Chains A and B, each alone.
Chain A
Amino acid sequence: MNAAEPIALVLFVSDDSPRSIVATANIQQALEAGTGSDFALEIVNVFAEPDRALAARVLVTPTLLAPAAARRLVGDLSEHEKLRYFLHGLQIAEVPPGDDPA
C-alpha cells in the first residue's frame, strides 16, 4: 500500500502550550508505531504563522490536518484510538483488532 508521495500531515499548535506539547508527543508516538504508508509531519505554530491558520480555518489548537484527504482531528490527541483510526483512514497505521472507535 505504498504511495509514491509521502502523505502530508500538518499539526497546528499554539506556541508551547501544554496541550500542544501533549499533542506533539502523541502524534510522534503514534507515527513511530505506524507501519503503513510513508508520511511527512509538519508542525505549525499558529502564532508564528497566523496566515496559514487562517487559510486552513484553524481556530482551535491543536488541530491535526491531512490536507490531501481534507480531514481534521482536533484536540490534544490524548484519545489514542481516535488518533489511530484517523491515521488508519490515511493508511498510515493499522487499527488494533477489536477496537471500536467511539
Chain B
Amino acid sequence: MMIASGIVGLDAVLNGGFLTGRTTVVSGGTGSGKTVLASQFLRTGAVDHGEPGLMILFEESPATVAAHFPGGGWPPAGEQHAALHFIDGRLPEDTVQSGTFDVGGLIAIATSLAKTHGVKRLAIDGIDALFATVTDLQVRRRELTRLLDWLAVSGLTAVLTVKTGVADEPPTYFDLAEFAADGVIALDSTMIGELQRRTLRVVKMRGSSFISGAHPYVIGEVGIRVLYAPTRTRWLAQADETRLSTGVERLDLMLQGGYRVGTTTLVSGTPGAAKTTLAAAFLDAGVRAGERCLYVGFDEPAEQVVADAHSVGIVLDDALRSGLLQAESYTAAALIAEEHYLAIEGLIVGNSPSRVVIDSASSLDKAGGSQIGDAIRERLVVLMKSRGITALFTAAAEANMLNGNLARARIATICDAWIQVGFSSEYGERNRTLVVLKARGTGHSNQIRELLLSSSGIDLADVYTSPGDVLSGTARVQREQQIAAQREIESERASDDLAWLDRERDKLARSLEDMQRRLAQMADDRAGLLERVKSGGKARARDTREIRSQRYEDPNPGSADG
C-alpha cells in the first residue's frame, strides 16, 4: 500500500509513493529541502486527500515553516483542505538540562492528536536538533528506537527528517534510524563549477520496488520536483507516418514530405551554417499551418532570432505577437541543465505546442558538462515523444559534445533524424551545404546539397557528385576525404542503428517467448477445465466405482496410482 508523496516525479520513482502506515527517513544536508519535502507530503494529504496532518518542528518555528509552505504558504488560499497541526518542538532558549530525557511527551501529544483530530500523516522535522544537547550516543539511539517503535505501531504514515553532514556529529549517528525505518531517502548535493546540483536517492523502501540511482531534483515555488524519465520503450509506440513541412520545399522532397510528426530532428553544424535559419523555417511552416509553436533559445534573445529571419524572407513577428509562436531565451550557463529542463517542460505544459525548437541543444552542456547535458537532451526527446511534439534541436559543431566524432555523440543516437549543415570551399568559393545523415523510417538522399539562402527564402541545389565530374588538386583530395568521412559516419550510424535494432529484437523475442509460454499454459489450463466440465457427474459415478473396486479387490491402495 502506497500513499502519494505529493512530489512530482517522486511517486513515479517510488512506484506509487511512501509506504502507508510506515516511516520514511529523509536525510540530507542543510538547505537540501528536507522540510520542503515533509511539507509537500503533508500538503498533499490535507489538500488532495482530505487527510489531517501533524508537523512537529525541532529546528524552525511553525510560523516560519507555514509561511514558506510549498504552493504559497499554509493555509492555502481558496482551496478546500483538511487541517494541519503544527507543534513547536524547540526547547525554549533558557532550558537547562539535568540528566537524560526521553521523547515521552512527543509520543503522548502525537497519540492524542491522532486520536482526536484523525491525523493520518505525521512529519517530524529535524529530530537531530532535539538530540543536539545529548552527548551520550547510547541515549540518542535509545530514544530514536523508542520513537521508531512507537511510529511502527501508531498507524500513522510518517516522514522523519534528519540532518546529515554535520561536522561535529559522528557520521554513523543516524545509521540506526536508517536501519530501523522502512523507507530511507537521501538528498545529496554536489557543486558543479559554481552551480549546485541536487540529487535524490531512494536508499530503501521495504517491500516495494523503486527506481534506484540518483534522480536530479530542484526546489521551486511548488516545492521539490524530481526529474524522472519514463523508460525508452514507451516512446517507440508513437510512430506516425504523418509529415510536417520543414518550411523548405526541396528539403520536404528529400524527406518524403518533411519531418515525421512526433519525432525529433537534430540539425548540427558550424557557426553561421544556417542551423537557426532552418529552425525558423520549421516554425514558419508551423505558424502558417496554424500550429502552436515554441522556440527556446540559449544565449541569444528570441527577438534577435525573429529579426534575423527577415533576411531569408521569414516573418514570424505577427505569430509572436498573437502568441501562436512563443519564444523564450535563457542564459545557458546560469542554471544547471536540469533546471533548464524544468523551465522548458513548464513552457510545453503551459502552451501545448505541436512544434518545438531548442536552439541550441548543445548549450545545455555549458553548465554541468556533457554527461548531464546528454541526460537532459534525452529527457527532452522523451518529453517531446510523450506529448507527440515534432521537435528540432540544433547543435553547434564546435561545442564540447561534438568534439571527436559526432556520430558517437549521444544526441545523434537519440534523435530520429539528423541533418548536418556546413560549408564547402572550392575554387575560392565558400558554399553552404546540407546533408541528411539519418532519418529513421524515411527514404532519403545521401547526397550533399548546396544550401542557398536569399531574401526570397531558403532553397537547395544539387551539387556535382558524378564520377565524370572533373575535380583536381586540392578539390579532388578534399572530395575524396569528404566521401571517406561520409562513409565513416554512415558506417557508424549503421552500427549504432544495428545495435539498437538488436536490442529491440531481443526485447521483443523475450516477450514473445514469455507470451508463448503463457499461451501454452493457458491451453493446458483450458483443456483441463474443459475436461472437468464435460465429465461432471459421470466422473463422480466412475470414482465411486473405482473406490469400491479398490476397496474390495486391491488390498494395497499404493498400487492404485495411474
Interface residues, chain A, with chain B CB atoms under 8 Å away = 12-15, 17, 19-20, 22-23, 26, 46-47, 50-51, 53-54, 57-63, 70-80, 82-83, 85-86
B101 A63 Cβ-Cβ under 8 A: yes
Within residues 23 to 62 of chain B, which ones have a CB less than 8 A from any CB in chain A?
A: 56
B98 A78 Cβ-Cβ under 8 A: yes
Bound Cα distance from A85 to B154, whole angstroms: 39
Max count, chain B CB within 10 A of own CB: residue among A62, A83, A86: A62
A50 B104 Cβ-Cβ under 8 A: no
| 9 A-B pairs closest in CB distance | A14-B104, A50-B112, A78-B99, A75-B99, A76-B99, A46-B108, A61-B104, A82-B98, A79-B98
Name 6 interchain pairs, CB-CB below 8 A, sorted by A. A14-B105, A54-B109, A60-B104, A60-B106, A75-B98, A76-B99
* A83 CB, nearest partner CB in chain B, Å: 5
From known contacts A50-B109, A51-B112, A79-B99, infer whether A74 and B104 are also in contact, taking CB-CB under 8 Å: no
A74 B95 Cβ-Cβ under 8 A: yes
Bound Cα distance from A71 to B96, whole angstroms: 8
B111 A50 Cβ-Cβ under 8 A: yes
Contacting B105 at CB < 8 Å: which of A59, A71, A73, A85?
A59
Residue of A nearest to B115 (CB): A50
* B145 CB, nearest partner CB in chain A, Å: 14
Contacting B102 at CB < 8 Å: which of A54, A60, A72, A80?
A60
B94 A63 Cβ-Cβ under 8 A: no
A77 B98 Cβ-Cβ under 8 A: yes
Give the chain B neighbours of A23 by CB distance below 8 A: 99
Number of A-B contacts (CB under 8 A): 110
B92 at the interface (CB under 8 A from A): yes
Give the chain B neighbours of A73 by CB distance below 8 A: 95-98
A74 B112 Cβ-Cβ under 8 A: no
Q: What is the total number of residues of chain B having a CB less than 8 Å from a CB of chain A?
A: 26
Dominant SS at the A interface?
Answer: mixed
Contacting A60 at CB < 8 Å: which of B88, B94, B98, B101?
B101
A19 B100 Cβ-Cβ under 8 A: yes
Give the chain A neighbours of B89 by CB distance below 8 A: 57, 59
Give the chain A neighbours of B94 by CB distance below 8 A: 71-72
Give the chain A neighbours of B92 by CB distance below 8 A: 57, 70, 72
Bound Cα distance from A82 to B130, whole angstroms: 20
* A73 CB, nearest partner CB in chain B, Å: 5
A75 B108 Cβ-Cβ under 8 A: no
Bound Cα distance from A14 to B143, whole angstroms: 13
Identify 17 new A-B residue pairs, CB closer than 8 A, beyond the known A19-B99, A72-B91.
A12-B105, A14-B104, A14-B108, A17-B102, A17-B104, A19-B100, A50-B112, A57-B87, A59-B56, A59-B89, A59-B130, A62-B101, A72-B92, A75-B100, A76-B99, A77-B98, A78-B99
